[in-house]
Amino acid sequence: MADRLNGYRILILETREEAQFSRMLAEQGADVLQCPMFAIHDAPDPAPVEAWIRRSIERPFDDLVLMTGEGLRRLMKVARRMNREKDFVSALANARKFARGPKPGRALREIGLEPQVTTEKPTSEGIAEMLARIDLKGHRLGLQLYPDKDHSALIGAITAQGAEVDSVTPYVYDAQAADGNIVTAIDEMAQGHVDAIAFTNLGQVRRLIEVARAHGCEARLREGLAKTPIASVGPAVSGELKSHDLRTDIYPANEAFFMRPLISAMAAALGKAPPRAATK
């Protein structure tokens, strides 16, 4: 598949693991237009995160739910700063580990661990549905959350099963810092300078729409998306696009909802026509 995207300009909306996505696209010859959606920072008050890590070591959880790979990496960063990395990994090894999609699983493998279960649907609802099929009565469950979302429904669903939930949010978003990047990307699409836009999580869709509305350029965004092929990594992203009356043009084959199959699908779809962006 080498160089099958040579000359095509692909817009990616960078979040947690899109540096890897960018590298994979560049390896196939793509000209990658990177648009940071927000900056990620450690939690401004480290004390609750450090206390959560200490509790997990002193009384290891029966179950651990990881919502993001970024969350585990941030927790490991704090554990190293506390000189408790080995103790923390050992405690996590004893827990039954649930991953919200493939990204937390990859973060676990970086520290030599594996998830016991990965959700079919990488959403909070998917986590709740999966846990509903498991006996959690009397269990201590560690729950790693991510910012800017109300997780009360998920926590309520877990506690209703008789589990004691101990949650932690190890990082925060700085969205305003990236608004200018997003407005510039919208202009690039509207001017026909982008051959495809690729979405790898539904939060990217929401953020793009929110910024366009906040800056009075939603009509220009829709103009750009109307002329730009839209690639979606899987059903959750396509569902979010549809909820905003947007289509999915490129989709991984054989229900392989990962970055590499998405890139293969993009190469197959875009290769049918010469790069538009290259002619601008």
Predicted TM-score (pTM) of this structure: 0.65
Q: In this structure, what token pair is assigned to residue 94?
A: 């004893």
Question: What pLDDT does residue 120 have?
Answer: 78
Question: Which secondary structure element, helix H or strand E, spans residue 221, and what is its range?
Answer: helix 218-227
Topology, domain 9-38+176-279:
Rossmann fold (3.40.50)
Question: What pLDDT does residue 121 have?
Answer: 77
SS3 category, 140: strand
Topology, domain 42-173:
Rossmann fold (3.40.50)
Question: What pLDDT does residue 17 have?
Answer: 55
Question: What pLDDT does residue 83 have?
Answer: 98
Quick one: CA dihedral 4, 10, 14, 19, positive or negative? positive
Give span(s): CATH 3.40.50.10090, the chain. Answer: 9-38+176-279, 42-173
Question: What pLDDT does residue 16 have?
Answer: 53
Question: What pLDDT does residue 39 have?
Answer: 76
User: In what order do the strands lie in the sheet containing 96-99?
Assistant: 117-118, 96-99, 63-66, 140-144, 164-168
Instruction: Compute, in degrees rounded to 10, the torsion defined by CA atoms 228, 234, 240, 241.
Output: 20
Question: Which residues of the chain fall below pLDDT 70?
Answer: 1-3, 15-19, 177, 256-257, 277-280
Question: What pLDDT does residue 107 have?
Answer: 95
CA pair distance 107, 11, nearest whole angstrom = 25
